């Protein structure tokens, strides 16, 4: 996914639960109109590098690289995988986005945006 080149709000934070991820996300959203996350996680099936674009109320775009076989998942498949690993330990970078950065990110990722269900 094409995302703005900027300094992360937090970098390489290890989280172990969905509530910790939500807290980091709320921190980023309190400083802007949206956020993107870079997540590295693994489970018994593989290792994943996931990028997520969100606004203040919903997920806008999700892309997942399955590191082991270089397969790329987008949209519903990527959201499903992300939900399945939310309670696993993961390393997360969090970026806060202003309104212009949000709109540019959507425009640069229209295919992924259109394939991703807009879930809260």
- pLDDT tens digits, 1-10: 888 888 999 9
Per-residue pLDDT at 100: 93
pLDDT at 119 over 90: no
**Under 8 Å between Cβ of 63 and 50:** yes
CA–CA distance, 12 with 94 (Å, rounded to integer): 9
Total count of residues recorded for the chain? 120
**Under 8 Å between Cβ of 93 and 8:** yes
- pLDDT tens digits, 42-82: 999 999 999 999 999 999 999 999 999 999 999 999 999 99
**Under 8 Å between Cβ of 53 and 34:** yes
């Amino acid at each position: 996914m094409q995302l703005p080149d900027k300094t992360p709000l937090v970098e390489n934070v290890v989280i172990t639960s969905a509530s910790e991820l939500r807290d980091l996300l709320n921190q980023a959203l309190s400083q802007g109109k949206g956020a993107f996350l870079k997540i590295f996680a693994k489970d018994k099936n593989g290792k994943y590098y996931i990028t997520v674009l969100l606004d203040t109320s919903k997920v806008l775009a999700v892309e997942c690289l399955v590191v082991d076989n270089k397969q790329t998942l987008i949209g519903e498949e990527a959201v499903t995988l992300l939900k399945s690993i939310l309670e696993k330990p993961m390393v997360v970078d969090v970026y806060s986005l202003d309104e212009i950065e949000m709109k540019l990110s959507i425009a640069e990722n229209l295919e992924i945006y259109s394939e991703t269900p807009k879930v809260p």
